[in-house]
Structure 1
Amino acid sequence: MTRNLDLDLIRTFVTVADSGSMTVAANLLHMTQGAVSQQIKRLEDGLDCMLFMRKARKLELSRQGEQFLVKARQMLRLNDEIWADMTAQSLQGGLRVGVPYDLVTPLAPAMKAFAEAHPRVELSLVCATSPELSEALNGGRVDVSLVEYVASEAEGEVIRIEPLVWVKGRGCDIWQKRPLPLSMVDERCAFRPVVLGALADEDIPWRTVFESGNIEATAATVRAGLAITAWLVSTVPPDLETIEPHAAGLPALPPFAICLRLPSTAQPAALEFARYVRESMSNNAAIPHSRLAKIA
């Protein structure tokens, strides 16, 4: 007997799993909380297993739920890719693309190729820190976004994994000073808590030289020998230098994942744009996924 899974129920399940809340999922799906709860129950009844464990104010995936989530994402992605392929020629309207400051240049080729292939889609770029972009995606303020996470905590689709490296101006020894002069792009930068935590673990004092939200200004500060910073290895400008942490007495930094985030109800233009991002960015400066466990 052939049995078919209901993709609407699966999409609701993935949204609840991603948000960790029936209420948040209901807002994202434009449904009532009761309707979301009923759909999850229907899916659990059909699969004859509990997908979530209800704990006080928190929802956690059961073991079966964790296993099902992997396959559920694959089903939704295939469904969405089919729709994107079949409707690609008629794409139009607005598309809000979220991107961290340091990934604007790496994303440019994908944006250019997409704009040329789909001239009726009006692209708008939203630049912010990764935590802000994650919030914007969950709140429906962007349609697709790149988000940077510590590799071991990646969410969404991992496009590639890169080392986070210390960076200094050529020929300067500013990294020897204490407190260590730091220049970070923004106080909500995804790298900042990791960098400061690594310094704290080594009891290395630091001071902030510059935080503006402007990556060019940060680069200028480092270029002038006023501070060091931490960037993904592929985004380091050619006129700046990376620092070998052990030789310099600095802590090693964990690798970061560049992730592609789409809402569960992604529009066809966002799905098509995601395809361009994969093709453009997935093969550059990547660390093989098999090495993640060894370096994370």
Structure 2
Amino acid sequence: MVLRNLDLDTLRTLVIAHDLGGYAQAAERLGRTPSAISLQMKRLQQDLDIPLFRKSGRGLALTEAGETTLAYARRMLALNDELMDTMHGATLAGLIRIGCPQDFSPILPGVLSHFATLYPRMQVELHIEGNAALADSLEKQQLDLALVIGQADRAAAVTIGELKLVWIASTLFTPPGDQPLPIAVLGPQCAFRKRAIQQLEEITRSYRIAATSPSLNGLWAAVLGGLGITARTALGLPADLICGPSLFGLPALGGMPVTLHRNPHATGPVIDRFSTLLTSALTLALQQSGKPRNRLRLLREA
């Protein structure tokens, strides 16, 4: 059997066509004709000597071999792109302005470390702010890239995932029987605060704001101290806290979209790479956020 080298451009076309949903969309993205895209896919199929596509309604879907090829294509392209970034990134210098809320700060060290390896001469300006403030700053072109909770109606927003919201309390917290429920919250513009109050009011559950803080660290201190229960994501949850979507029989909070906002004037491989690193880290964090890490974090429904 004579082995042939696969063309990376063809593999990239396969990934783009799959992710965008068809040859026409890939052709528009790549500046080619749909027939040219189709020809590339036929050649790839011939090179591998196995069917990669099957009829699905009016379109095409991947066979099992096609799914395997797609997975390998992603890995090969990731290695190729990282090698190119490493070789060329060492000579690039400049400033990149990134924003994210406090909730995502735990994922930043890994992203920043990887980015610094690829682009050692780039300067990173990091903004940790509220979600609305981040979206506003990007629209004013004060940021190049922002990871935001909610704000999906903004022009620059691209939804990349969903956060499941949970009620969070100290292991020592006991909700009062017929008294207003004490809650700990951030400021009035906090989306989690608004969602919690909305859900409590919908079931006419009385509550009182027992503690407020302008920072997430302050909020965790209040909750750990047993001052009240709060509503948030399980990302970065401190030890000695319990959480659940219906903790103590409270109403489910649902979820919120996570959106990536990119300044239309911020282009180039540096922005592309940081966007990819951030999205990958967030996806992994979202997958792990629903898994309890110790017995104290097991759901306590009552």
With normalisation by structure 2, the TM-score equals 0.61
CA contact (8 A) 1:99 1:126 kept: yes
What is the match of residue 112 of structure 1?
113
Q: Do residues 202 (structure 1) and 156 (structure 2) align?
A: no
Structure 2: give runs of 5+ residues left out of the alignment. Answer: 1-24, 31-80, 289-302
Distance 1:177 1:220 in 2: 25
Per the alignment, residue 75 of structure 1 pairs with 29
Q: Which deviates the most, 160-169 or 263-272? A: 263-272
Q: How far has the Cα of 1:122 moved from its partner?
A: 1.0
Runs of 4+ in 1 over 6 A off after TM superposition: 83-87, 150-155
Could you tell me which residue of structure 1 aligns to residue 139 of structure 2?
138
Closer/same/farther in 2, CA of residues 242 and 250 from structure 1, 3 Å limit:
same
Q: Structure 1 residues 211 and 124, CA, compared in 2 at 3 Å: closer, same or farther?
A: farther
1:255 corresponds to: 255
CA-CA distance at 1:94 after TM superposition: 1.5
Identify if the C-alpha distance between structure 1 residues 154 and 197 changes in structure 2 by more than 3 Å, giving closer, same or farther: farther
CA distance in 1, matches of 2:261, 2:253: 24
Q: Kindly indicate whether the alpha-carbon contact (under 8 Å) linking 1:151 and 1:254 is maintained by their aligned counterparts in 2.
A: no
1:47 alignment counterpart:
none
Alpha-carbon distance in structure 2 between the residues aligned to 1:262 and 1:224: 39
Residue-by-residue CA offset, 1:211-236 (whole Å, 9 max, x unaligned): 32211110010001001111112332
Within-5 A mapping of 1:19-98: 75=29, 88-98=89-99
Q: 2:238 maps to what in 1?
A: 237
The Cα shift of 1:276 comes to 1.2
Distance in 1 (CA, whole Å) between partners of 2:176 and 2:244 is 9
- 1:267 corresponds in structure 2 to 267
The one-letter amino acid paired with 2:261 is: R
Structure 2 contact 89–120 (Cα < 8 Å) conserved: no
Deviation at 1:187, TM superposition (A): 2.2
Distance 1:89 1:231, change over 3 A: same
Contact map agreement 2:152 2:158 (CA 8 A) in 1: no
1:183 equivalent in structure 2: 184
Counterpart of 2:262 in structure 1: which amino acid? Answer: L
Residue 283 of structure 1: CA displacement?
2.6
Which secondary structure state, in structure 2, belongs to the residue aligned with residue 235 of structure 1? coil
The answer to whether the 8 A contact 1:174-1:225 is kept is no
Give the corresponding residue for 2:102.
101
Mark the structure with the bigger radius of gyration. 2
Letter in 1 for 2:198: G
- Judged with a 3 Å threshold, the aligned counterparts in structure 2 of structure 1 residues 266 and 150 are, in CA distance, closer, same or farther, namely closer
Asked if 1 retains the 8 angstrom alpha-carbon contact of 2:168 and 2:242, the reply is yes
Check conservation: 1:156, 1:261, Cα contact below 8 A: yes
Gap change, CA 1:155 and 1:252, over 3 Å in 2 = farther
Superposed CA RMSD: 3.4
Q: Flag structure 1 segments of 5+ consecutive residues without an equivalent.
A: 1-70, 77-82, 288-296
Distance in 1 between residues matched to 2:171 and 2:99, nearest whole Å = 32
CA contact (8 A) 2:89 2:118 kept: no
Structure 2 counterparts to residues 273-292 of structure 1, below 5 A: 273-286=274-287
Contact kept, 8 Å, 1:175 with 1:228, in 2: the verdict is no
Aligned equivalents of 2:155, 2:198: Cα separation in 1? 18
Whole-angstrom CA distance in 2 between matches of 1:271 and 1:175: 50
User: How far off its partner does 1:112 sit?
Assistant: 1.9
Corresponding residue SS for 1:283: helix
Kept in 2, the 8 Å contact 1:175–1:227? The answer is no
Measured in 2, the distance between the counterparts of 1:206 and 1:181 equals: 6
User: What is the distance in 2 between the residues matched to 1:176 and 1:147?
Assistant: 37
Change (3 A) 1:222 1:154: farther
Give the 3 Å change call, closer, same or farther, for CA 143–98 of structure 1 in structure 2: same
Q: Does the aligned pair in 1 maintain the 2:95–2:124 contact within 8 Å?
A: yes
Cα-to-partner distance string for 1:78-97 (whole Å, 9 max, x where unaligned): xxxxx997764543211111
| Residue 242 of structure 1, CA deviation | 0.5
Cα 1:131–1:179 change in 2 (3 A) is: same
Separation (CA, whole Å) in 2 of partners of 1:263 and 1:88: 21
Structure 1 190/175 Cα, relative in aligned 2: closer, same or farther at 3 Å?
Answer: farther
The separation in 2 between residues aligned to 1:138 and 1:275, in whole angstroms, is 21
Question: Percent of pairs identical after alignment?
Answer: 25
- Give the match's secondary structure for 1:178: coil
